[in-house]
Amino acid sequence: MLLKFLASIWLILGLAAPAAAQGASAVPSMSPPVTGGRGQPFAALATQPPGYLEEERFLSGTATAYAKAGRWDVDGLWAVTPASTAPFTVRLLVRRPADASRFNGTLIVEWLNVTAQLEGAADFMQMQEEIVREGYAWIGVGAQSVGINAPATGLKAWDAVRYASLAHPGDAYSYDIFSQAARAIRQPRGEDPLRGLKIRHVLATGRSQSAFRLVTYINAIHPTARLFDGYFVHSRGSNAAGISAAGLARDTADPIPAGARIRSDLAVPVFDLQTEGDMVALRSHLTRQDQGPRYRRWELAGAAHAETPRWVVEEPPPLDRGQGCQTPVNAAPHHAFVKAGLRALTRWVRDGVAPPHSPAIELGDPAAPDPIVRDSFGNAKGGVRLPQVEAPTATIDGRRNDVAEAKPGAQNFCFLFGQTVPFDRARLATLYPSHQAFVTKFTAAVDALEKSGYLLAPEAEEARRAARESRVGR
């Protein structure tokens, strides 16, 4: 209790935390740009965005693992104490404007996702267009062990020469590794991965498994590290990751309670974006909390944890079945709302203008496999109303999908992809007796979303154009 009290005092007063709580090494070393091996970074962009550069760096130091200090309850007011230290070398993937005049002053630091046993930039994938058009810098941090060491898919397996020097002591050290990456970027000594770009704000982001760990980082590590000016928590589940466990697992001893909230005493904004699929597949509805001075949440009706997006659901072309799923996967443009969320968080951090806290998706039985209340089309009620649920041409949801032909030992994530079931011609004709009737209704939904800040102008115009060019009602 004493450590938890002191952590709150340090946070409120803005005092420097004790050195022991900040990690063993305040100044990790940064390598020059990495070369060799296969000649390019793992997961390098196939096409560089105009005006952007990509390079890879290695970060080395001594990381601290932590243990719980006192009881951890669902309120998120968690304290830690240093437990052990170990050396590490991990990689950073850097994407930045080539021209310093294009940099908007905000750096995004993404906790790279390793659910597929490799390092993936799950948020960059959805944010890329907004990052480039607004001039952000982005750095992905390989904070977890499996991304390096997975036998068939990790970095060492992909390029044993290029990544020979990488070493990870285990996920218990991931929280401090993430801190040390931010510290080395904010306070470069020697090698500067941003080559002199002047940083005004640093945002942390993590999607899916990375969001599980980011919640624990926010609640337990941020109050003393204070290295980020805002957080984007994207598609988390009902559990926060353990402080000593690997992956998204809870600690075996004294596990973190399900439904843990974001702590309410933070001095920096936290933006929490959840889809209806996160509520079905990952039970994230159990983490709901009211808006606060530094907390906002958006809940996306009709969106899944993962998807193959299109603005208007109609066939042809045939709908995608993802990784060999039984039925077509969710087609909601999840990415567009992530871009708007990034803009909203940036404005909140930079200008102090908080985004709206969205309406909640309606729930029935919270314990049911599908806890969501649905309309006569099978689409979710409440939440941020995507045009696909306001002017529906399909049932589009986050309910469980399954693999069509299971293969022993193969990874498959169909349960995260939701479903899309197009309406038949008779139902479409009843709903939309003319093409203009569909365009009018769809466009009204898009206009409302743009006015409320849930969609940005480029994506809103994409949506309106897709409706005009569709065959619905013709």
**Domain segments of the chain as ranges:** 2-14+27-268
Q: Residue 3 has what pLDDT? A: 36
What pLDDT is stored for residue 410 in this prediction?
72
Is residue 18 over pLDDT 60?
Answer: no
pLDDT at residue 393 above 80?
yes
Find the mean pLDDT for residues 290-312. 97
Region of poorest pLDDT, from 11-20, 57-66, 350-359: 11-20
Does residue 9 carry a pLDDT above 70?
no
Confidence band, pLDDT 50/70/90 cuts, at residue 189: confident
pLDDT for the residue 58:
98
pLDDT tens digits, 57-76: 999 999 999 999 999 999 99
User: Of residues 14 and 97, which shows the higher confidence score?
Assistant: 97
Phi, psi (degrees; rounded to nearest 5) at 179: -60, -45
Mean pLDDT score of the chain:
93
* Structural Rg of the chain based on CA atoms: 22
Q: How confident is the model at residue 283 (pLDDT cuts 50, 70, 90)?
A: very high
Q: Is the pLDDT of residue 19 over 50?
A: no
Whether the CA torsion 43, 44, 46, 49 is positive or negative: it is positive
Asked if residue 7 has pLDDT above 90, the reply is no
Of the listed ranges 123-132, 249-258, 298-307, the one predicted with least confidence:
249-258
Is residue 125 predicted with pLDDT exceeding 50?
A: yes
What average pLDDT does this structure show over 347-365?
A: 97
| pLDDT of residue 24 exceeding 50 | no
Position 237 scores a pLDDT of 95
Per-residue pLDDT at 26: 57
Question: Could you tell me the pLDDT band of residue 8, with boundaries at 50, 70 and 90?
Answer: very low
What does the pLDDT look like over 81-121, one tens digit per residue? 999 999 999 999 999 999 999 999 999 999 999 999 999 99
Which tokens in the block code for residue 315?
């066939």
Q: What would the pLDDT profile of 95-105 be if each residue is shown by its tens digit?
A: 999 999 999 99
The pLDDT score that the predictor gives to residue 20 is 36
Interval 161-181: pLDDT, tens: 999 999 999 999 999 999 999
Q: How confident is the model at residue 22 (pLDDT cuts 50, 70, 90)?
A: very low
Per-residue pLDDT for 10 more than 90? no
